[in-house]
Structure 1
Amino acid sequence: MKQSLQASAAIVMVLVLSIFAVFGNPEATYADSVEVEAESAILVDAQSGKILFEKEADLTLPPASMTKMMTEYLVLEAIEEGDIEWETTTQISDYPYSISANATFSGVGLTQSQDYTVRELYEAMAINSDNGTSIALAELVAGSEGEFVNMMNEKAEELGMTDYQFVNSTGLENEDLGENYPEGTEREDTNLLSARSSAILAYHLVNDYPESLEISSIPTTEFDGQEIINWNRMLPGMPGQLAAGSYEGVDGLKTGFTDLAGFSFTGTAERDDRRLISVVMKTDSEEARFEETKKLFEYGFNEFSQQELFQAGHQVDDNSTVEVSKGKEDSVELEIAEGITAPVKEGEEEQYAVTVNLSEEALDKNGKLEAPFDQGEKVGTAELVYNGEESYKDLQTGEPLRTEVDVVTVSSVEKANWFMLTIGGIGDFFSDIFSSAVSMVKGWF
């Protein structure tokens, strides 16, 4: 009997501890929701920039060929600005040719005294992660890889990346480039990125240049008479045995590997009009980088959904009206101008609220809205507020994510006629006198 009581007590204790572990830890974060075996990782909603998961996301590591995402961005920007076109041709200089001819770097193999189009070079870079074509594009855009590296670092700052160092266009170690390491860098230098900065770069690449996904999603293609295969083994449509690792919705973005960097991957996938961006850095193997990415995608797509939390026309109780001055009406109702949507974790729908911030510029010194004004007059903003225990941050700022929409008037209010304004003015005059008199009398006592 005593043993039975002891066993029962032990079971109760286990249950109590289990409940406490689940509900009683105020410091629990989304990092507890999925175990990712990578030194650094991050998962981001590509529309809002909301971070859904992160693990040591600010740790700076060599990104290897994920560096090429910046090369892709700058090439696409040059095309957008009209500096080059997809059909612009160039020939291969000695430096990229020497890299291409080195079997250690296992590229597509380039031929000198032959014209290559920008599209051909870009496809070899984005699909087959070729190094020689990356250098050739850098030289075409900037004149030299050294100048291109300057552009890479300037663009990183412009995009809001916080942890970065670009020293070449490929992601190779500078010491692997022989005497060709870019001017302005050192032989011992290496490219460096954090998972957060990699995600910021990917976020801008897919949003600013969605056409990049049309190329990064190609499983196989032909280059200069040979078949090249995408290193992103998660792409649907991969040939043969490689198809076993595909994941529905994946259409990018860039793998990376060197002995120093290990196996890394910046991936992106779209399902049901939702796009996620993931980064895993320094995993144990080529297969592991895709397995860990799959974990992140499963977590993002299964645990979160895009929801309209508050519909257009929603009125916030404490700020549903504002007083009106010089109008035919004394007050006007307020509402949010558009619906507020966000990626919401399952079960957290009730953790969101709206706060209204009325604009001082829109109101007079007494906090009233002066007539006349039309329906839809902006008087402030409504901010989505999360009151749960997680810590959802903005990818760009690192601060809690802010989602705002305009607060507007429900109806128009005409200006009162001169007689009513006069009567109102007289009333205000005597009201001010009365208030002053009351204050004076109170001062006597």
Structure 2
Amino acid sequence: MKKNMLKRILPVMMISLIAMTSFQQSAHGKTKLDINADAAILVEADTGKIVYSEHEDELLGIASMTKMMTEYLVLEAIEKGKIKWDQTYKVSDKVYQLANAPGLSNVPLRADEEYTVRELYDAMVIKSGNGAAIALSEVVAGSEGKFVKMMNAKAKELGFEHYQYVNSSGLSNYDMLGMYPEGTDVNAENMVSAEDMATLAYCLIHDFPEVLKTSSLTSKVFRPGTSEELVMKNTNGLLKGKSYYFKGADGLKTGTTPFAGSTFTGTAIRDGVRYISVILDAKDEYGQPSSRERFIQSKELLDYGFSEFETVEYNLDSVEKKKEHTLPVPNGKEKKIAIKVDKPLAIRVTKQDKDNVKTILNVADNKVSEDGSLKAPIEKGEKIGELVIDTPKNEEYIFDKKDSPLKIDVYAAESVEKANWLVRSARSIQAFFQNIF
């Protein structure tokens, strides 16, 4: 993680508690979770901090979780005005054949029929319709082959490190009845690491939070009141009313193919705190791919985040309880200045570590004199520094951040003018004799 640290720290302004919190990439509080999968990761959705991970950088099959990238590009195209929700699409021969192919997850689409982007999007997100995903790729890019290029370009733009997109739906190319996208190979598979899938989930939720309104639906009727009416049931087993219900779960996407096994990217929110989990190729006790285990293990990951950690707020009162916090200003008309923060610094820490966090007040270079003391004049409301959580180097995020999320700005609560030369000289003389005696 990249950090822009202030160059100078005032020793007299060091603010600390007992000890530094222990942040690790592996699980906190427990040595190991009971995860039996090729890869797994748990991430704080607000900060992108990795809470738990196993083999998170391995390039693995993702099956229909591929549709999350298709969702992103569709929502981005809508945001940019390139397509509209009520825009209609006339079913191509390719989409018709794949949308009605036996054995593939689909909402059947009729030949030469027209469907809105919204109808296709709902069919893709809720029912994991493969034909609908391919149709949307043609809406956005003109062909699935061109769309695949957009998918890989977007992955690079979002900072993915381990990825390969070969189609818009997540099907194995060899299952596409010979109609796999131009520029790809018949034996190619969609593959992304667990960490990069978590990055995609993070970007989806932050850039297009409306995605959760659809992914949280347990079911929806496709084309109600028509001869095509169909109840689309969500494949996410963590949603309310489902077999593996998890309180607060509202997304995101499942995936299953012989190559990828059983995969799942989940997310849940409780009391304003959200986590993202990814399970790739979940196994049962016999080492076989298991649809149910992807939900069971996702619940264990999410429950670990919610139960083992709690939100703790740190501010100036965390250091010393008093009505007013001040810092000395040796050259000021007043010899001290009150400081404040706009809001506390809220972080997720293990329960045993909540009282063991070290914080430091960093003061900007342009606010200190040659001897390292705070200097006047200072205007009320002026930023004078930052209150920072001093985290160890092994803290991991799903992407590099220019600034540490664990900091808050510190402001002057009042103005202090610079004392005149006579006052400053008198103070220097007084300090000299005090040091002698």
Shared fold by TM > 0.5?
yes
Question: Which gives a bigger RCO, structure 1 or 2 (Cα 8 Å, sep 6+)?
Answer: 2
Match among 321, 324, 335 for residue 327 of structure 2: 321
The verdict on how the C-alpha distance between 1:399 and 1:381 changes in structure 2, with shifts beyond 3 A counting, is closer
Q: Which residue of 2 aligns with 1:372?
A: 377
Pairing 1:232-381 to 2, within 5 Å after superposition: 232-237=236-241, 243-283=242-282, 284-308=289-313, 310-311=314-315, 321=327, 323=329, 325=331, 327-363=332-368, 367=372, 369-381=374-386
| Distance in 1 (alpha carbons) for counterparts of 2:118 and 2:316 | 44
Report the alpha carbon displacement of residue 373 of structure 1 after superposing the two structures with TM: 2.6
Equivalent position SS for 2:390: strand
Equivalent position SS for 2:214: helix
Q: Which amino acid aligns with 1:321?
A: L
The verdict on how the C-alpha distance between 1:139 and 1:307 changes in structure 2, with shifts beyond 3 A counting, is same
Q: Which residue of 2 aligns with 1:407?
A: 410
Q: Which amino acid aligns with 1:343?
A: R
Report the alpha carbon displacement of residue 316 of structure 1 after superposing the two structures with TM: 8.4
Query: Which structure carries more helix by proportion?
Result: 1
| Distance in 2 (alpha carbons) for counterparts of 1:351 and 1:392 | 16
Q: Which residue of 2 aligns with 1:397?
A: 400
8 Å CA contact 1:392, 1:400 repeated in 2: no
Pairing 1:176-215 to 2, within 5 Å after superposition: 176-215=175-214
8 Å CA contact 1:203, 1:277 repeated in 2: yes
Q: Which amino acid aligns with 1:295?
A: E
Equivalent position SS for 1:395: coil
The verdict on how the C-alpha distance between 1:172 and 1:362 changes in structure 2, with shifts beyond 3 A counting, is farther
- Mean CA deviation greater in 178-187 or 251-260: 178-187
Q: Which residue of 2 aligns with 1:222?
A: 221
The verdict on how the C-alpha distance between 1:377 and 1:290 changes in structure 2, with shifts beyond 3 A counting, is same
| Distance in 1 (alpha carbons) for counterparts of 2:352 and 2:425 | 57
| Distance in 1 (alpha carbons) for counterparts of 2:117 and 2:277 | 28
8 Å CA contact 2:105, 2:128 repeated in 1: no
Equivalent position SS for 2:396: coil
1:48-80 deviation line (CA, Å, top 9, x unaligned): 222221111111101111011111111111111
Q: Which residue of 2 aligns with 1:154?
A: 153
Report the alpha carbon displacement of residue 34 of structure 1 after superposing the two structures with TM: 1.7
1:203-230 deviation line (CA, Å, top 9, x unaligned): 1112221211111111122223112211
Equivalent position SS for 1:197: helix
Q: Which amino acid aligns with 1:395?
A: I
8 Å CA contact 1:322, 1:334 repeated in 2: no
1:294-353 deviation line (CA, Å, top 9, x unaligned): 111221221112221x13666689x9635465x423453545443111112121112211
The number of residues matched between the two structures is 392
1:66-121 deviation line (CA, Å, top 9, x unaligned): 01111111111111122222211111112222211211323111112222111110
Report the alpha carbon displacement of residue 285 of structure 1 after superposing the two structures with TM: 0.9
8 Å CA contact 2:26, 2:53 repeated in 1: no
Equivalent position SS for 1:244: coil
Q: Which residue of 1 aligns with 2:106?
A: 107
| Distance in 2 (alpha carbons) for counterparts of 1:286 and 1:74 | 27
The verdict on how the C-alpha distance between 1:312 and 1:169 changes in structure 2, with shifts beyond 3 A counting, is farther
1:158-200 deviation line (CA, Å, top 9, x unaligned): 2222221212111112233344322333333221111111111
Report the alpha carbon displacement of residue 382 of structure 1 after superposing the two structures with TM: 2.1
Question: 4+ residue runs of structure 1 moved beyond 6 angstroms?
Answer: 398-401, 424-428
Q: Which residue of 2 aligns with 1:118?
A: 117
1:89 aligns with 2:94: no
Report the alpha carbon displacement of residue 260 of structure 1 after superposing the two structures with TM: 0.5
| Distance in 1 (alpha carbons) for counterparts of 2:261 and 2:401 | 26
Q: Which amino acid aligns with 2:408?
A: V
| Distance in 2 (alpha carbons) for counterparts of 1:184 and 1:413 | 67
8 Å CA contact 1:351, 1:386 repeated in 2: no
8 Å CA contact 2:25, 2:395 repeated in 1: no
The verdict on how the C-alpha distance between 1:401 and 1:125 changes in structure 2, with shifts beyond 3 A counting, is same
8 Å CA contact 2:368, 2:374 repeated in 1: yes
8 Å CA contact 1:199, 1:278 repeated in 2: yes
Equivalent position SS for 2:176: helix
Q: Which amino acid aligns with 1:146?
A: G
8 Å CA contact 2:98, 2:177 repeated in 1: no
| Distance in 2 (alpha carbons) for counterparts of 1:113 and 1:365 | 77
8 Å CA contact 2:205, 2:212 repeated in 1: yes
| Distance in 2 (alpha carbons) for counterparts of 1:92 and 1:365 | 73
Report the alpha carbon displacement of residue 272 of structure 1 after superposing the two structures with TM: 2.0
The verdict on how the C-alpha distance between 1:364 and 1:90 changes in structure 2, with shifts beyond 3 A counting, is farther
| Distance in 2 (alpha carbons) for counterparts of 1:92 and 1:196 | 35
| Distance in 2 (alpha carbons) for counterparts of 1:56 and 1:261 | 15
| Distance in 2 (alpha carbons) for counterparts of 1:53 and 1:334 | 37
Q: TM-score, normalised by structure 1?
A: 0.80
Pairing 1:122-141 to 2, within 5 Å after superposition: 122-141=121-140
The verdict on how the C-alpha distance between 1:316 and 1:55 changes in structure 2, with shifts beyond 3 A counting, is farther
Q: Which residue of 1 aligns with 2:8?
A: none
8 Å CA contact 1:52, 1:392 repeated in 2: no
Report the alpha carbon displacement of residue 202 of structure 1 after superposing the two structures with TM: 0.6
Q: Which amino acid aligns with 1:124?
A: A
8 Å CA contact 2:261, 2:290 repeated in 1: yes
1:275-310 deviation line (CA, Å, top 9, x unaligned): 1111111112111111111111221221112221x1
RMSD: 3.1
8 Å CA contact 1:313, 1:335 repeated in 2: no
Consecutive unaligned residues in structure 1, runs of 5 or more: 1-25, 238-242, 431-445
